[in-house]
Structure 1
Amino acid sequence: MLSDWQAFLQQAGASLTAGQVEHFGAPVAERAAALQGDIVVDLSHFGLLRVEGPDALTFMQGQFTNDVRQVNANHSQLSGHLSPKGRLLNVFRLFQRDGAYYLRMPAVLVQPALERLRKYVLMSKVTLSDAGDSLLRIGVSGPHAYARLVQELDHMPQTADEVAHGKGLTVVRVAGPHPRAEVYGEAASIRALWQNLATVAKPAGASAWALLDIHAGLPNIFPANVEAFVPQMVNLQLVNGVSFRKGCYTGQEVVARMQYLGTLKRRMYLAHTDGETVPAPGTELYCSNSESGQGAGRVVDAQPAPGGGVDLLAVVQISLLNDEVRIGDAAGARITFKSPPYAFPAEAQDTGS
């Protein structure tokens, strides 16, 4: 199914690299449209992990940072999977469709996630599988595109994390500067929807969608950052990705200790540099005043900014926000930090933004 879908996208002008849509011929204009207008994006660079079986709910409840019991046909959630030391192995969106659970995550992390989770299945009646070929997925952002999407369903999600179904489609509302949704479905339904949306929205590459995640302050974990952060460092609890009341799960003790007893020294911020080189996830930050041997922080994700320079999410030592922090080393581009579009806890707000 994916090969046919990719052929369809190429006929529409898509430039693909390793199965990911890089752009539709105008990457700068596509990123500008993401922040200022309407876009429709192929999301094949995200994979899907399916969890099903009589014990699926109990199994996931013992593994993930969020309260899986809140996920149903009409509600999705962000969540994380941790190492026993409380470090993030993955951040994903969890939703339901046709009685099965789906974890949407960067495609490169699906197989590692399957291998880790299967170690915990034991005698549970749970089936885990790579569902990347079973459903197509596209992203829709912008008021006109979303209004066109509304025509497809009798009821549309109104707030982030809400879900609606109809005409073979599953629509998951996600945070963004404009009305934004992820849409999942069979090939025929998604293809017809794409053709409809493309009359009012600009087809765009994966970079445009990543830019929207950055501006929404939504973290994605890529291989270079696996086990680099505890959830609070990437603000996962501030985007409804952590439950502190659900009970035990792998790594829970570390998360709870940080929440109730610890002092958070590093936090994720929205940032910008005037440099033209886009730092890869995991790139270290430099500051002469950083804690000895620990570095100033690291890049979570970065994309070219439509007006020039680079927009990024970066985890940084909070005490350095008003210092000179640079990408990589002392010669790297200087970073300007600001708060993402959600409130920090009161104790962190006086440390700079």
Structure 2
Amino acid sequence: MWTRLPSSALRLTGSDRVDFAQGQMTNDLRGAPTPGLVAACFLNVRGQIEFFARVYKRPGDVYLHLGAGQAPALAERLRRYIIFDQVDLTDLSGDLRTVHVWREADLPGWDPAGGDAQEFGLAGATVLGGRVNRTGAAGVDLHFLARQEEAVLGALAGAEVALPELHAARLRAGIPDVDSDGFAGTLIPEVGLDVGGPLPAISYRKGCYVGQEIMARLEARGQARYALARLRGEGLPERAEVTRDGKVVGQAGAHAGGLSLARLRRELVPGDRVEVGGVPATVETLTPLSAAPADV
């Protein structure tokens, strides 16, 4: 099974590409292998998420896989910080396509025992794959040139699965998606992206980046006021306020299959009844407090 992913992409080249990216993102790209892959956020000075990306470190470039339409805004932000750095930015959104293969064992040419980022041949094309958990099990985000799309898709095993089904599987697994859930503007620990969460996207040992001071304060405090939760209810509106007894206690993200993920106040517990945009729902899970943050 495989699903087309609406995407955008940036490529960083130049001798300072890794160090420059390292100083902008929340995770440790410098410490990743080559080739390697890390999930990361780009924060504002208040520590709030502006962009989420999966960042590929390759011998000749750094490749950022982003949600649809995100590349131009992130490129504009990054260019503001290029002063003496030897870095060039290229928006590859129009040239590349991405699909998610649900099971890595189903992808011809991919080595399930290999690293998280692999380049290999498929249907006469050179493709880039990244091990990504979007459904509760390891799959592969497969990136390839748009002009090779017909050949690559023809080589994939199984049937194409529509994007809403992928989102439904993601919500069952409790895995956040910053773009789809509308979690931009929140803090990393509030939406499952902290160390110990379902999608770790930060290192507390990597050094400075925009918003790092706020994250260091949160680490010292030990917890955020909100956590990632899964809500159950039929017909829940997306990106709506979550209330309890008339008080706003969070915000909901995408909805599929009777489930939504939400940023929710920590004092709520599984079984509590809430409303999402006025529609009744039940708190099904709440991400527990993790142990003292440590790099993984």
**Which TM class, normalised by the smaller chain length?**
0.7 to 0.9
Q: Is the 8 A contact 1:71 1:95 kept in 2?
A: no
SS in 2 for 1:229: coil
Q: 1:184 aligns with which of 126, 136, 143?
A: 143
1:124 paired residue number: 85
TM-aligned CA distance change 1:177 to 1:218, over 3 Å: closer
Q: Greater share of strand residues, 1 or 2?
A: 2
Q: Is the 8 A contact 1:225 1:300 kept in 2?
A: yes
C-alpha displacement at 1:55, in angstroms? 1.2
Q: Work out the CA distance in 1 between the residues paired with 2:178 and 2:137.
A: 23
- Which stretch of the first structure deviates more once superposed, 183-192 or 64-73? 183-192
TM-aligned CA distance change 1:301 to 1:157, over 3 Å: farther
Structural mapping, 1:2-151, within 5 Å: 39-43=1-5, 45-97=6-58, 99-142=60-103, 146-149=104-107, 151=108
Q: Is the 8 A contact 1:136 1:186 kept in 2?
A: yes
Alpha-carbon RMSD? 2.5
C-alpha displacement at 1:53, in angstroms? 1.4
Q: Work out the CA distance in 2 between the residues paired with 1:223 and 1:84.
A: 23
Q: Is the 8 A contact 1:169 1:189 kept in 2?
A: no
2:235 paired residue number: 276
**Quick one: which amino acid aligns to residue 162 of structure 1?**
D
**Quick one: which amino acid aligns to residue 119 of structure 1?**
R
Show CA shifts across 1:280-328 (max 9, x none). 2x321111274xxxx21112332x21xxxx2221110011235321101
Q: Is the 8 A contact 1:46 1:105 kept in 2?
A: yes
Q: Greater share of helix residues, 1 or 2?
A: 1
Show CA shifts across 1:216-268 (max 9, x none). 43322239846531111112123331000011111001111111125421001
2:281 paired residue number: 334
TM-aligned CA distance change 1:217 to 1:60, over 3 Å: farther
SS in 1 for 2:260: strand
C-alpha displacement at 1:134, in angstroms? 2.5
Structural mapping, 1:152-301, within 5 Å: 152-153=109-110, 155-156=111-112, 162-167=116-121, 168-175=126-133, 176-187=135-146, 189-197=148-156, 200-222=157-179, 225=182, 227-237=184-194, 238=197, 239-273=199-233, 275-277=234-236, 279-280=237-238, 282-288=239-245, 290=247, 295-301=248-254
TM-aligned CA distance change 1:178 to 1:236, over 3 Å: closer
Of all paired residues, the percent bearing the same amino acid is 23
Q: Which runs of 5+ in 2 are unaligned?
A: none
Q: Work out the CA distance in 2 between the residues paired with 1:296 and 1:52.
A: 43
Q: Is the 8 A contact 1:72 1:95 kept in 2?
A: no
Show CA shifts across 1:161-214 (max 9, x none). 8111111011111123344110112346543332232xx422122222333333
1:6 paired residue number: none
Q: Work out the CA distance in 2 between the residues paired with 1:336 and 1:116.
A: 37
TM-aligned CA distance change 1:169 to 1:54, over 3 Å: same
Q: Work out the CA distance in 1 between the residues paired with 2:275 and 2:113.
A: 40
C-alpha displacement at 1:109, in angstroms? 2.0
C-alpha displacement at 1:157, in angstroms? 5.2
Q: Work out the CA distance in 2 between the residues paired with 1:157 and 1:172.
A: 13
Q: Work out the CA distance in 2 between the residues paired with 1:301 and 1:221.
A: 10
C-alpha displacement at 1:141, in angstroms? 0.7
SS in 2 for 1:194: helix
Q: Which runs of 5+ in 1 are unaligned?
A: 1-38, 348-353
Q: Is the 8 A contact 1:52 1:101 kept in 2?
A: yes
C-alpha displacement at 1:67, in angstroms? 0.8
2:259 paired residue number: 311
**Quick one: which amino acid aligns to residue 210 of structure 2?**
T
Aligned residues: 283
Q: Is the 8 A contact 1:268 1:313 kept in 2?
A: yes
